[in-house]
Structure 1
Amino acid sequence: MVRLLKGLRHMNAHGKDLYPDVTASGDLASAMRKEAQLRGCDIGLERWASDVISIQTVRGYLSVATATEKRLFRLSVDIPGFIWEIGETEDLGLLVEAVAAWREGLSLDGLAARFEFMELDTFAGALESGEPTSLQWTGLLSSEFHRKQWALLRRLHADEVLQHMFPTITHGAVRLRVEPMDARSRQVLVTEETGERYEVMRVGVPEAVWTEVPAADLIAYLRTALTEE
């Protein structure tokens, strides 16, 4: 019954199954894993994934979705607050190869040359111009949802070094990351306990713990944590 319901979701208005390969495999993730195995590709798809595809890479999360009006596999890259659609294709095997190449670190120029369905001009331009970081700061500083963090965000953004770090909010803490597209990039978490006391965690270092930092030392401490070897 479950497979039948999934198959019905792949039907178009005329009752034609647009994705017989996906229906036969049971779900989109299984179909992608099968194609990857046939091509000797590593796509890094988690075991629990089924119809929701989100693959972590050093250049954001790759997402795959299917169209409903016609057969199309749509590929997007996500970072907090931004989603770029970077191509769509009817060929699941080609899509799987593109995902593997992306994960392996093939350059954007190399990806565009090898996979004609990929449209990377806007995405590349945003990265080169630093737009993701500046837009993310603007978004957080104007978001009512993050009003509690506004004072801390303004304090951090006022610094000429820290304003170039990519900010996100994680469980109420401000996260600053050096490289916006790299989840493994050097990063810190900052919380404001009072106006004169902060706690900072250097994410990814051995035995990372929260460290109390006085207000007068906060900016220097964060600069050191994010920029010095």
Structure 2
Amino acid sequence: MLYPDVAASGSLAAALRAEAESCLGAVPVTSSDSDPLRYAAVASTLPHREPLQINAWSHERRWSIRGTEPFQGLALLDGRTEDLTAVARAARAWHDGAALDDIRRAAPFVHLTGRSEVPDHHPARLTESEWQSMRQEAAELEYAWKEPYQALIEAAYAEPALRALYPFTSHWVLRFSATTRPHLTVVGPCLTAGSDGTYGLGRGIITPDLGRFDTAHEAVALAVRHLPSGLGPVTLAPST
């Protein structure tokens, strides 16, 4: 009902090409075998980019995109729009290997996650990329506890011992790893930001059994003291 044009074309891939043939040119657009009316993908000429995923919403007429890197499977960009031609512009730029900022300029609905492309999988650059994504995510939050959570992320990033570790979250709990994704090696305690403006530190993600503090800096300082000794630079995820 929401996409009669897509249904008439037979697939989202065909509808996308019909909408923006001059933009896409000879760029291949593939359909999902399981749900061709809702899903399509556009590959990139760059080996360190997965195909751009395009999907149609089920409850209103809108499309979403997501572009990831293959090593960790994390998003470099995403976005949503009601303009299928804008989707085609983003897909063409992704396919052609345009820089992430240039993709956003070509299609302003595109949202960059803050991650950098690290084709050589250098663990220090992957770590810094993840920190930048986490900082951006905290700054963009719209929840009531945005300010304490952002303060926690910034306080942890300002501490060299924690900034040297690979950050990740589980249920909005800040945690650290000695290896990059996709196989994390968890080290140290867990940091939390409460909606009441306090900060917790714990051995697990449920209870702040190591203390609750009035400032993020206090919690971060104690977290550093609970790090295991002998930690070296972050390494790539071990192979399985």
Which band: TM-score by shorter chain?
0.3 to 0.5
TM-score scaled by length of structure 2: 0.45
TM-score scaled by length of structure 1: 0.47
Question: Per residue, is there more helix in 1 or in 2?
Answer: 1
